[in-house]
């Protein structure tokens, strides 16, 4: 692939959105994991409950930053887009909890299970945010 072609791809709007989505995702995931680990290690909450609660905190961070930074959806009514976002990420929370619970059931450590779940649910979240919530 030529340097010109690489530059062209990097300049494409979807590629820039994916990059921004990734940055927002890192921040929201850090919040999610911090809440989850604190609940498990300090609060003695079960890992599946803790990841679901942490995911909820991550939803708020993710919505706020994606609305302003990734998709720049300033003209979209907040109530309407937030409702769609909550439904999208609610399904994501269910998928996340199911994956974490399933992997823990087969002997995985809760943090490893969470890393796998994060990677899988990421695809669902990006596609839903791009094509449904902030289109």
Residues 55, 79: Cα–Cα separation, whole Å: 20
* 10 vs 29, more confident: 29
> Considering just the CA atoms, what is the radius of gyration of the chain in Å?
16
For 30-62, how does the pLDDT look when each residue is reduced to its tens digit (9 = 90+)?
Answer: 999 999 999 999 999 999 999 999 999 999 999
Split into its structural domains, the chain has a count of: 1
pLDDT over 70 at 6, yes or no: no
In percent, the amount of the chain with pLDDT more than 70 equals 96
Q: Which of 3-7, 28-32, 65-69 has the lowest mean pLDDT?
A: 3-7
Are 55 and 93 contacting, i.e. CB atoms less than 8 angstroms apart?
yes
> What pTM value is reported for the model?
0.80
CA dihedral 104, 109, 112, 115 (to 10 degrees): 50
pLDDT at 9: 67
Are 93 and 54 contacting, i.e. CB atoms less than 8 angstroms apart?
no
What is the residue range of 78's domain?
3-133
Residue 2 binned pLDDT confidence (cut-offs 50, 70, 90): confident
SS3 104: helix
Average pLDDT of the chain, as a whole number: 90
């Amino acid at each position: 692939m030529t340097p010109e072609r690489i530059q062209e791809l990097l300049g494409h709007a979807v590629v820039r959105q994916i990059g921004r989505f990734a940055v927002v995702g890192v921040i929201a995931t850090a919040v999610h994991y911090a809440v989850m680990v604190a609940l498990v290690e300090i609060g003695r909450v079960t890992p599946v409950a803790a990841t679901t609660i942490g995911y909820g905190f991550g939803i708020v961070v993710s919505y706020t930053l994606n609305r302003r930074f990734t998709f720049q959806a300033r003209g979209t009514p907040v109530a309407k887009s937030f409702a769609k976002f909550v439904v999208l990420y609610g399904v994501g929370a269910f998928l996340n909890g199911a994956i974490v619970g399933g992997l823990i059931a087969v002997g995985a450590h809760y943090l490893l299970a969470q890393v796998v779940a994060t990677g899988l649910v990421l695809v669902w979240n990006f596609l839903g945010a791009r094509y449904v919530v902030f289109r």
